[in-house]
Amino acid sequence: MTKTPVKKKQDKPTFEQAVAELKQIVDKIEDGQIPLEESLGQYEKGMALIQHCRTILQQAEKRIEKISANQDSEE
Amino acid sequence: MATMDRIYTVGQVNGLVQAALSQSLPARMTVRGEVRDFRCHHSGHCYFLLKDTSGVLPCVMWSSRFRSVKFMPENGMSVLATGYVDVYAQGGKYQFYIDRLDPEGTGALQKAFEQMVAKLKAEGLFGEEHKQSLPSFPQCIAVLTSESGAAWHDIADSIHGRWPAVTLVLCPVPVQGEGAAARMAESIARINARRADLPVDLMIVGRGGGSMDDLWAFNEEVLARAIFASRIPVISAVGHEVDITVADLVADARASTPTQAGVVAVPDEAEVSEDLAHMARRLSVSLRARLDLCHSQFANLETADVLRRPDRMIHDRHQWLDDWGETMRGTVRDRVRAAQDGLVVYQAQIGHLEPYRLLGRHRVAVGTLAGCLESAITARVAQRKLLLEAPAHRLAALNPKSVLGRGFTITRNGRTGTLVRHREAVQLGDLLVTELAGENIIESKVTKQ
């Protein structure tokens, strides 16, 4: 119950990182300032990030943990 | 004089006074007065005077009693003090031993709250520049509240109802009573210290509503300083909308109630999903537009002359070269012609000037001037000659020997050598020497006078 959470999926971006990168990608493609091939690559990456964010939300499990006061004070 | 016979000790007198006081005064009294000369000794005991227009009353408040006083007495403050009067034998005086002190007018807690707000505000603890921004999508939120209280469930439900992708860590703490503020402060510091193994990125400190006394822990300095020192952003969520505590003022964000904490702490999943869908549409639309643009550009290129008739480009260049060469030749020709025309005009202008005539005119002028000069000089010389001749003639006439030529003679006395100008200059027998022209001399003798 007091096991420390997160630390999972170090390779995957956090929701915040994913959204930030997604905004950059949308801006870049909309600006039309990058070559077409890169646009295609960025599009795929953006769609993957959106899917990643949706997965985070769908799989979210409303985790609740508790730090016991006694264990804390022992530290 | 019987009373004079008995000798009392100091202690006896003070004892009598003490007895008299305890018999005749109420065991507990509440006194209204103005605080004067307030001193809080480092031992924690407080000494001051209560004063009104009629006089002063020395007061003592032991630290054990003073600790429960929430506000800090200030000189001039009007207070209600409750306690008893007793003798302080060592000081030889009676004083008022206070066990309860309240400010008059506003309540003690209100006064204490105002004082704490003023103090921490002066230190800058509420400054906007110290407010940390909250994470947009927190992943792990620590909730510091009572495990048994409704606030915990309100907070957890409101957060997970909006945003399920977050781990809530309940950190049970007492939220009222003696020592509650210190416990909360410790927990805040400990969670900050455990960031390495407990990746909390947001904290909520709160409790449900209650009386001002119930909420008092959230007004204490120790909690305010812990919230201020926290590197993890802190949201305060205390009581009802109307309750404002010191913790609310120092926290990075305030939720007016525990339920409202969810709105402050996390985004709404529905909104974020809608945003994601919107971004997906933008991505597709902009990529489609980009591809369409590329297609149309490619179509334009395909039909371009350059690609359809590449030799045309070379021919065009040839023609251009020819045109250009022609233009250049014409330009050079025009310029040479213009220069020639200019020369003719200059030549005509020079011809009009007739230099030989000019020269002849000048030569005549020079001849005339030379003649004038010569005659002027000749005249001047003749004039000067004339001027010279007259004095020369006059000079020549003055030479005595020049008259000899005209037959005159010069006669000297041969004896004396003087000129003979009259008869008396000679004597009989004197030799006369007569000089004639041409250096000829005749000597003769005076024979008669």
| Cβ of residue B281 closer than 8 Å to a chain A Cβ | no
Name the helix (H) or strand (E) containing B142: strand B140-145
Strand partners, B145: B172
Of A46, A57, A65, the CB nearest to B169: A65
Chain A nearest C-alpha distance from B283 (Å) = 6
* Residue B174 pLDDT: 95
What percentage of residues in chain B have a pLDDT greater than 90? Answer: 48
CA proximity to A14, closest of B371, B430, B140 = B140
Which pLDDT tens digit goes with each residue over B127-140?
Answer: 999 999 999 999 99
Q: How confident is the model at residue B423 (pLDDT cuts 50, 70, 90)?
A: confident
CA proximity to B216, closest of B104, B99, B65, B107 = B107
The arithmetic mean of pLDDT across residues B180-198, rounded, is: 93
Of B135, B167, B290, the CB nearest to A39: B290
* Residue A7 pLDDT: 45
The arithmetic mean of pLDDT across residues B212-229, rounded, is: 92
Which pLDDT tens digit goes with each residue over A3-51?
Answer: 444 444 457 888 989 999 999 998 888 887 788 888 889 899 999 999 9
- Residue B222's identity, in one-letter code, is V
* Residue B363 pLDDT: 82
Check pLDDT > 80 for residue B24.
Answer: yes
Check pLDDT > 60 for residue B21.
Answer: yes
The arithmetic mean of pLDDT across residues B412-435, rounded, is: 84
* Residue B3 pLDDT: 57
Name the helix (H) or strand (E) containing B227: helix B221-229
> How far is B140 from A63, CA to CA, in rounded Å?
9
CA proximity to B205, closest of B185, B235, B177 = B235
Residues of A in contact with B196 (CB under 8 A): none
Distance of CA B47 to the CA centre of its chain: 52
Of A47, A56, A75, the CB nearest to B283: A47
- Cα angle value B291/B295/B298 (rounded, 5°): 135
Check pLDDT > 70 for residue B287.
Answer: yes
> How far is B171 from B141, CA to CA, in rounded Å?
10
C-beta atoms of B137 and A16 within 8 A: yes
The arithmetic mean of pLDDT across residues B249-265, rounded, is: 94
> Is the pTM value of this prediction over 0.80?
no
List the structure tokens of B82: 């409750």
Are the beta carbons of B77 and B35 closer than 8 angstroms?
yes
> How far is B154 from B170, CA to CA, in rounded Å?
13
- Burial class from Cβ neighbours inside 10 Å (0-12, 13-18, 19+) for residue B273 reads middle
Check pLDDT > 50 for residue B253.
Answer: yes
> How far is B233 from B205, CA to CA, in rounded Å?
11
| Cβ of residue B158 closer than 8 Å to a chain A Cβ | no
C-beta atoms of B276 and A54 within 8 A: yes
Check pLDDT > 70 for residue B351.
Answer: yes
* Residue B49 pLDDT: 93
Which pLDDT tens digit goes with each residue over B141-179?
Answer: 999 999 998 999 999 999 999 999 999 999 999 999 889
* Residue B268 pLDDT: 93
Name the helix (H) or strand (E) containing A40: helix A36-59
- Burial class from Cβ neighbours inside 10 Å (0-12, 13-18, 19+) for residue B56 reads middle
Q: At what angle do helices B180-193 and B221-229 cross, to 10 degrees?
A: 10
* Residue A2 pLDDT: 44
> How far is B79 from B423, CA to CA, in rounded Å?
170
Least confident interval from B37-41, B119-123, B413-417 = B413-417
- Residue B299's identity, in one-letter code, is A
Check pLDDT > 80 for residue A53.
Answer: yes
Pairing assessment for the beta strands B234-238 and B202-207 based on DSSP bridges: parallel
Which pLDDT tens digit goes with each residue over B306-338?
Answer: 777 778 778 888 888 989 999 999 999 999 999
> How far is B212 from B240, CA to CA, in rounded Å?
11
- Burial class from Cβ neighbours inside 10 Å (0-12, 13-18, 19+) for residue B275 reads middle
Check pLDDT > 50 for residue A74.
Answer: no
Are the beta carbons of B73 and B35 closer than 8 angstroms?
yes
Least confident interval from B13-17, B246-250, B332-336, B345-349 = B345-349
Strand partners, B433: B412, B443
Which pLDDT tens digit goes with each residue over B372-388?
Answer: 999 999 998 988 888 88
How many other C-beta atoms can be found within 10 angstroms of the C-beta atom of residue B443?
Answer: 9
C-beta atoms of B279 and A69 within 8 A: no
| Cβ of residue B172 closer than 8 Å to a chain A Cβ | yes
* Residue A9 pLDDT: 44
The arithmetic mean of pLDDT across residues B413-417, rounded, is: 85
C-beta atoms of B194 and A29 within 8 A: no
Averaged pLDDT score across all residues of chain B: 88
Of B191, B276, B283, the CB nearest to A43: B283
Check pLDDT > 60 for residue B6.
Answer: yes
End-to-end CA distance of chain A: 18
C-beta atoms of B283 and A23 within 8 A: no
Backbone angle region of B403, left / alpha / beta, with phi > 0 → left and psi within -120 to 50 → alpha:
alpha
* Residue A69 pLDDT: 54
| Cβ of residue B288 closer than 8 Å to a chain A Cβ | no
- Burial class from Cβ neighbours inside 10 Å (0-12, 13-18, 19+) for residue A31 reads exposed
Q: Could you give the count of Cα atoms lying within 13 Å of B89 in the half-sphere of its Cβ?
A: 11
Q: B98-136: buried (b, 16+ CB within 10 Å) or exposed (e) per residue? A: beebbbeeeebbebbbeebbeebeeeebbeeeeeeebbe
ipTM: 0.76
CA proximity to B232, closest of B198, B192, B184 = B192
Q: Which residue of A has its CA nearest to B290?
A: A32
Q: How confident is the model at residue A73 (pLDDT cuts 50, 70, 90)?
A: very low
C-beta atoms of A15 and B273 within 8 A: no
Are the beta carbons of B202 and B141 closer than 8 angstroms?
yes
* Residue B69 pLDDT: 87
Q: Which residue of A has its CA nearest to B292?
A: A36
Q: Which residue has the higher pLDDT, B5 or A51?
A: A51
Chain A nearest C-alpha distance from B259 (Å) = 17
